[in-house]
Amino acid sequence: MSLVGAELERQGISTVCIQLLRVAAERVRPPRTLLVPFRHGYPLGVPNDAAGQRAVIEAALRLLEDPTRTPPVLVEYGPRVAG
C-alpha cells in the first residue's frame, strides 16, 4: 500500500499509510505513515475494540491536518505492544 499511496500523492490525492513494519516504511518512504505496534494482520489493533480502532484511524487522519510536516512523515502510534 505504501507504493499506492506514493502514486496517489503524485496525482494530487493526500494519503496516510498505516504500517506495521518500520523497515518497509523507511525503504518505500510513503508521504505520511502511522507506524502501529500491533501484530501482523491487525493494523487497527485487536478485533472488537471499536474505541481502540477509532483511535488509530483518528491518529492517522491527524497526519493530514498538520501542514507544517513535509513528507515523508513517519509517526509512531502509542507504546509498543507485544503480540
Distances (CA, A) of 61 to 33, 58, 76, 82, 83: 10, 5, 14, 25, 25
**Residue 69 within a domain:** yes
| Per-residue pLDDT tens over the stretch 7-22 | 888 888 889 999 999 9
Confidence (pTM):
0.83
pLDDT greater than 60 at residue 82 = no
**Residue 20 within a domain:** yes
Count of domains observed in the chain:
1
Domain of residue 49 covers 2-76
Residue 72 CA to residue 79 CA, distance in Å, equals 22
**Residue 83 within a domain:** no
**Residue 8 within a domain:** yes
**Residue 81 within a domain:** no
